[in-house]
Structure 1
Amino acid sequence: MGRPKIWTTNFLYLCGSNFLIGLMFYMLATVLPLYVQSGMNGNQQQMGLVITIYVIGSVIARIFSGIWVDRFGNKKISIIGFTIFFIATISYFGVINGIILFLFVRFIHGMSYAVASTATNTAVVSVLPRSRQGEGIGYFSMFLSLAMVVGPSIGLLLWESENIYLLLIVVSILSAIALLLVALVKLPEIVKPETIVKKKLKWNDIIEIKALPISLVSFFLFFSYSSLSGFLASYTKEIHQSSITGLFFIVFALMIVVFRPVVAKLFDRYKEHYIFYPSIIVFTIGMFLLSQAHSVTIILIAGILMGLSYGILFPCFQGLAIKQSPAVRSGAATATFFLLNDLGYGLGSYFMGFTASISSYRIMYVFAAVISLVSLVIYLFLYHFPDKKHQSVQTEV
């Protein structure tokens, strides 16, 4: 057999690095709040802050990372992003006894994650043949879904002995491998000094107004979803069902992966309103069931319901954000969408932790269910009604 095509090799390297960085994100997002609680004697609010400060760093860096990629090229920014990610990872060893320095490293870690992920997500398009781009991007995103499947479970498995050093050693090794994979990728470097270097950054380079309504809907979904990764392990421990946490995340993510082909057909056959309303209601029911759970069965049913509905809602929102925007603004629409997602996840982690600290985890999950219903109201008034009005005007014309 002949050697594999060069684009195939580069694509696999990028998929591997994307999988590893996602894996590390979910491992740390699940375990570090637990370490803050047990190893630093932190409260629920500080547990949420561990995730929030990471996302704040990610949001700030994501604003500029696209401009950096265009100016300096995918390869350079990928190397820089993954190198800083690795340095931040090993820096945890020196700050695990002080919350302030610990949060500072989390902030830098979040910035490096945004830069690295932006560069690799942009790079994958450049290595794929035009005839295989749709298929390739689909597989590329699937690796992140796989990281969502196994990341929390591996993190909790490593945390069973509550030895933070074991987790950090594994994550550091994975980070080094991810950096190596990116270094092996051969990318075409196309720099546009005349149009990029001299261009002043404006808000409309980042924010696409027409993508804002559906992105705000997604903001509240992620606000609600943030209650799972950062606090589910503590909640299940409180209700004496801690052994089920890893399986919950596996069930949740498998529902996303397994039903993705079916979801794609739904988008082609039905209008988004018929997809959104049942899905957000199912997600809310799942969150409410979780808040009232006393048994393994109810927890897993909640995971099935939320995994299925989340797997439908997320690609629906992403597609609508781009669909509602001009074709030449698809990049800005995508940036707007992910910025609102990051903000929802980060702010949600903090406020969910605050809610748990002044009440209980059960009340926190009831609050998360209510927040998911807020996204329904936002969708109705900012997207559904304006869309119906727009269609009426087109019919009259």
Structure 2
Amino acid sequence: MKQTKLWTKDFIIMSSASFFISLVYFLLVTTLAVYAIEQFNASESMAGLAASIFVIGAVFSRLFTGRYMETIGRQKVLFAGLFLFLAATLLYFTVTNLYLLLFIRFIHGSAFGISTTALATVLMDIIPKERRGEGIGYFSLSSTLATSIGPFLGLYISQHADFSMIFIVCTILSMMSVIISLFLKIPRTVLTDDQHHSLKGFKLSNFFEKKAVPISIMITIMGFVYSGILSFISAYATEINLIEAASFFFLVYSIVLLISRPITGKLLDKKGDNFVVYPAILSFATGLLILSQSYNSFTLLLASAFIALGFGTMQSCFQVIAIKEAPQHRIGLATSTFLICMDLGVGMGPFLLGSLIPLFGFRGVYLMSAIVVFLCIFLYFSLHGKKTAKQKMYSQAS
């Protein structure tokens, strides 16, 4: 049986646009705190807010993007997000004080939330249904690459040029995302009168997709735990004298994902959700356990590989599950629900886990995180795994 084509022109354009947008995000998130301190004498907490308020803006805009995308039109929402993202990037050149910087970061984050939610939703119309796991696996590699390249590029530019050059590069990247997206052919979604009516009003169901909530709870917890790695791996590596190895941590993470994502995506499509998710949870827990007991470079980087196979796999697979559970006309809401929950987990994690480090130390926090992730096997079973197993049993019986 011939496979439906995945690598179409539109798929490549959307993956590229996602890469450029994510690159801007990661490039700025590694440099904005330093910029706020050096340019405006900001305190460390205010400098941290300058970096994190971006995520607050993204969560805020995702609430409304999923709700209005189907009624306004996916194409209009996508281009509104992309043009606002470009406009916000240009506004960095006008910053004269810290409060203006915070305002622009919030607007920029809002534009990021709109454009990434719209991209992920439109993608579902382009990817063949029977290859969604594989398609999202490939698509999400764009942000994975940006995770490695963005921070490196940001640090390199800040060492060899001033902050204006960083904003120039971000402007160019933002313009590229807009220009290539002009060549997209976005399928038009036609709603029935009943579907259109169901999306009216300010009901909670018009901001969140109920069927996507169970798996979104899982990504909230996993994102919460993963944020402890993002935020504290450098400090932990300094404490255990593995600073050099830590500089390769996310490089190894990205390489493993580049190799594994296409494979795990295909397995999700062919073998089902449980076949991929249970090993991924175990891999994430194993990686955290190894990380908590790392005493040399090999174990630290081995932990990175297991974490990539764990959290990295779940990130794309859970998104597929969230979308599969939702009706066609509510895919936008399912996408925004999933991304909001992931953002909340990643956003809350550093503050709450950071408060535990003085009490239990880095090793203790990572060990407790491993236990939490392992126990999520039972949570996943109750939220989704049990239902999936029954569906597979019935389909085999029939």
Please, what TM-score do these two structures have when normalized by structure 1? 0.77
Unaligned runs of 5+ in 2: 1-6
Query: What are the Cα deviations for residues 342-389 of structure 1, in whole angstroms up to 9, with x where unaligned?
Result: 221222233344445787655554454454345345325444567779
Alignment of 1:82-121 (within 5 A): 82-95=82-95, 98=98, 100-121=99-120
Residue aligning to 1:150: 149
Structure 2: distance between partners of 1:391 and 1:189: 33
The residue aligned with 1:58 is 58
Local SS of the residue matching 2:112: helix
Is residue 46–residue 353 contact of structure 1 (8 Å, CA) maintained in 2? no
2: CA distance between counterparts of 1:11 and 1:323?
A: 19
Q: Which amino acid aligns with 1:158?
A: I
Distance 1:171 1:193, change over 3 A: farther
Q: Deviations over 1:174-214 (max 9, x none)?
A: 12322333345465667879775993243223333333222
Q: Which amino acid aligns with 1:210?
A: K
Displacement of 1:141: 3.6
Q: Give the corresponding residue for 1:248.
A: 249
Partner residue in 2 for 1:175: 174
Measure the CA separation in 1 of the matches of 2:54 and 2:8: 33
Q: CA deviation at 1:23?
A: 1.6
Between the aligned partners of 2:130 and 2:279, the Cα distance in structure 1 is 33
2:242 is aligned with 1:204: no
What amino acid maps onto 1:169 in structure 2? I
Q: Which residue of 2 aligns with 1:285?
A: 286
CA distance in 2, matches of 1:131, 1:268: 9
Letter in 2 for 1:23: L
Partner Cα distance (2:218, 2:209) in 1 = 15
User: Residues 341 and 224 (structure 1 numbering): CA distance in 2 closer, same or farther, change over 3 Å?
Assistant: same
Structure 1 residues 321-332: aligned runs within 5 Å: 321-325=322-326, 330-332=331-333
The 1:64–1:166 alpha-carbon spacing in structure 2 relative to 1, beyond 3 Å, is same
1:253-286 per-residue CA deviation (whole Å, 9 max, x = no partner) reads 2212211233235435656455434432321232
Equivalent residue, structure 1, for 2:262: 261
1:38-62 Cα offsets, whole Å, 9 max, x none, are: 875644x667645543222212211
2: CA distance, partners of 1:8 / 1:391: 31
For the 8 Å contact 2:326–2:334, the answer to whether it is kept is: yes
Question: Residue 71 of structure 1 contacts residue 193 of structure 1 at CA under 8 Å; is this kept in 2?
Answer: no
Are the counterparts in 1 of residues 212 and 338 from structure 2 also a CA contact under 8 Å? yes
Name the aligned partner's letter for residue 351 of structure 1. L
Q: Cα gap change, 1:87/1:12 in structure 2, threshold over 3 Å: closer, same or farther?
A: same
Counterpart of 2:4? none
Cα contact 1:52–1:350 (8 A) shared by 2? no
Matches within 5 A, 1:287-306: 287-306=288-307
User: 1-side partners of 2:270 and 2:74: how far apart?
Assistant: 37
* SS of residue matched to 1:259: helix
- Please name the residue that 1:69 is paired with: 69
Structure 2 length as normaliser, TM-score?
0.77
CA drift of 1:93 comes to: 4.7
Shift of 1:77: 2.6
Contact 1:31 1:159 in 2 (8 A): yes
C-alpha displacement of 1:22: 1.5
CA deviation vs aligned residue, 1:225-251 (integer Å, no higher than 9, x gap): 122334434544565544444522121
Bigger shift: 335-344 or 46-55? 46-55
| Aligned amino acid, residue 213 of structure 1 | P
Q: Is the 8 A contact 2:117 2:339 kept in 1?
A: no
Alignment partner of 1:344 is 2:345: yes
Post-superposition Cα deviations, 1:66-121, rounded to whole Å, max 9, x if no partner, equal 344334434433332122222322434555863x4443332222110011122333
CA–CA distance in structure 2, aligned partners of residues 187 and 387 of structure 1: 31
Please report how far the alpha carbon of residue 35 of structure 1 lies from its aligned counterpart in structure 2 after TM superposition. 5.5
1:152 Cα deviation from its structure 2 partner: 3.2
Structure 2 residue matching 1:298: 3-state secondary structure: helix
Alignment-derived partner of residue 3 in structure 2: none
How many angstroms apart in 2 are the aligned matches of 1:319 and 1:391?
Answer: 17
Question: Mind listing any 5+ residue stretches in structure 1 that lack a counterpart?
Answer: 1-6
Aligned to 1:218: 219
- The 1:269/1:393 distance shift into structure 2, 3 A limit, reads closer
Counterpart contact for 1:78–1:115, Cα < 8 Å: yes
> Alignment partner of 2:248: what SS?
helix
Instruction: Tell me if structure 2 keeps the 8 A contact 1:217–1:379.
Output: yes
**Structure 2: distance between partners of 1:148 and 1:36:** 22
- Structure 1 stretch displaced more, 108-117 or 253-262: 253-262
User: How many corresponding residue pairs?
Assistant: 386
Between 162-171 and 211-220, the greater mean CA deviation after superposition: 162-171
Distance 1:260 1:109, change over 3 A: same
CA deviations on 1:278-307 (whole Å, 9 max, x unpaired) are 432321232243344454323211211111
Question: Kindly tell me: are residues 312 and 168 of structure 1, through their superposed partners in 2, closer, same or farther at Cα, counting changes over 3 Å?
Answer: same
Query: What is the distance in 2 between the residues matched to 1:188 and 1:280?
Result: 35
Counterpart code for 1:76: K
Contact 1:263–1:312 (CA<8 Å) still a contact in 2?
yes
Superposed CA deviations along residues 293-339 of structure 1, whole A, max 9, x for unmatched, are 45432321121111112233223323333455556655543333222
Q: What percentage of residue pairs aligned between the two structures are identical?
A: 32
Q: Quickly say closer, same or farther: Cα 1:308–1:387, change in 2 above 3 A.
A: closer
User: What's 1:3 paired with?
Assistant: none
